[in-house]
Amino acid sequence: MKTGYLGVDVGSVSTNIVVIDEKGEVLSARYLRTNGKPIETVQGGLFSVGEEIGNKVEIAGVGTTGSARYLISMIVGADIVKNEITAHAVAASAVVEGVQTIIEIGGQDSKIIILRNGIVTDFAMNTVCAAGTGSFLDQQANRLCIPIEEFGDYALKAKNPVRIAGRCAVFAESDMIHKQQLGYNTEDIIAGLCEALVRNYMNNVGKGKEILPPVVFQGGVAANRGLVAAFNKYLGVEVIVPKEHGVMGAIGAALLAREAVKKTGKTNFKGFNIKEINFKTDSFECNGCSNACEVVQFYENGELIARWGDRCGKWEMSTR
């Protein structure tokens, strides 16, 4: 049996599961759509990873990250729960030696992480604006009836990218429609959109940051070759897209788990076959004060094991 470490990254759009070995090599990876059902997605994904490598690998540590990291930590039995920024930085540092800038664009957020000498020195996340994230590209691809996988290739075929206002997703869309109605071809419009998104990213998330190479571009959106080209053009350097760009957060969580169990010497991992366990959540509105917090209760096989969502801490019982 080989020793492996499991990392689970559950974001708004995708759920990523990886198992790495002692050296950090990826043994198994899943990139799944969360579809608004984080618990079922993780259960199913973990089961399929177990079928693939369960009899060859023994999991010695588990880490979770992403916006559902606390919820999922209880389902899989995590040894460490970490925010996405730290997880992405850890993964990129392991894959690209001396990385100084990380561009990460996911389903509903985008971030920039600046590292110097292997240590995060600065970072930023998009605030109220989601223009340029995966969801918006998904929606536009859908509207143009182009599979999202081919979206980037269209951009690469463009000869004269048109100028599109990328400041806001709503304006970008109406601008795109306007350009279509004027008769510009689809390739030029898509390339223009990619450039607009890069401009928006740089002015929004990347504002005031010192971007030095090597620059790593990761997250689901890094699969889009049109955006990669647009970043190269804007920054004047070749951005590096790691092979496992879509699951870097999960790799980071697995690497962090490897560190975490070194100290504890044991794992809380519940096994791959958690499909059989019945996880359930319900919620109620607390009437204790006028905050009216929505308290979430989490059950494992009918037994209440965690509760969160209250501001005052009266109900809280969890791994947090």
Partner 1 sequence: MAKIGIPRTLAYFLYFPFWNAFFMELGHEVIVSPPTTKAVLDRGVEEAVNDACIPIKIYHGHVAKLIDKVDFIFSPRLVSLRKHGDFGTETFCPKFLGLPDMIRVSMDRLPPVIDTRIDLKAGKDELLNVCKETAFFLGMTAEKVIFNAYKKALKKQEEYQKILKEGILPPLALDILEGRKKRKEIPRIEPELNIAVVGYPYVIYDPYVNVGLLKFLEQEKVKVYTQDMLSNKELNGQKKYIPKSLFWYFSNRAVYGGLYYMKRKDIDGIIHVTAFACGPDSMVDRLLEIESHRHGKPYLAVMVDEHSGEAGVRTRIEAFVDMLRYRRG
Residue ranges in contact with partner 1 by CB under 8 A? 67, 82-86, 119-123, 125, 127-128, 208, 289-293, 311
Give the DSSP per-residue string, 143-182: HTT--HHHHHHHHHT-SSPPP---S-HHHHHHHHHHHHHT
Question: In angstroms, what is the minimal distance from the CB of 197 to partner 1?
Answer: 21
Q: Which one-letter amino acid corresponds to residue 72?
A: I
Among 13, 28, 9, which residue's Cα sits nearest to residue 72? 9
Question: In angstroms, what is the minimal distance from the CB of 315 to partner 1?
Answer: 15
Q: Which is nearer to partner 1, 85 or 162 (CB)?
A: 85
Contact partners, residue 230, CB within 8 Å, separation at least 6: 155, 191, 194, 195, 197, 198
Q: Which is nearer to partner 1, 81 or 141 (CB)?
A: 81
Q: Which is nearer to partner 1, 264 or 291 (CB)?
A: 291
Question: In angstroms, what is the minimal distance from the CB of 120 to partner 1?
Answer: 4
Q: Where does residue 302 rank: exposed (0-12), middle (13-18), buried (19+ CB within 10 A)?
A: exposed
Q: What is the largest CA-CA distance in the chain?
A: 65
Inter-residue contact 24 to 242 (CB < 8 Å): no
Inter-residue contact 251 to 89 (CB < 8 Å): no
**What span, in angstroms and rounded, lies between the C-alpha atoms of 76 and 257?**
13
Q: Which is nearer to partner 1, 145 or 292 (CB)?
A: 292
Question: In angstroms, what is the minimal distance from the CB of 302 to partner 1?
Answer: 28
Question: In angstroms, what is the minimal distance from the CB of 123 to partner 1?
Answer: 6
Q: Which is nearer to partner 1, 83 or 283 (CB)?
A: 83
Q: Which is nearer to partner 1, 125 or 223 (CB)?
A: 125
Contact partners, residue 285, CB within 8 Å, separation at least 6: 292, 293, 294, 295
Question: In angstroms, what is the minimal distance from the CB of 68 to partner 1?
Answer: 10
Among 250, 270, 272, 274, which residue's Cα sits nearest to residue 52? 272
Among 308, 311, 264, which residue's Cα sits nearest to residue 291? 311
Question: In angstroms, what is the minimal distance from the CB of 187 to partner 1?
Answer: 36
Q: Which is nearer to partner 1, 127 or 181 (CB)?
A: 127
**What span, in angstroms and rounded, lies between the C-alpha atoms of 48 and 167?**
41
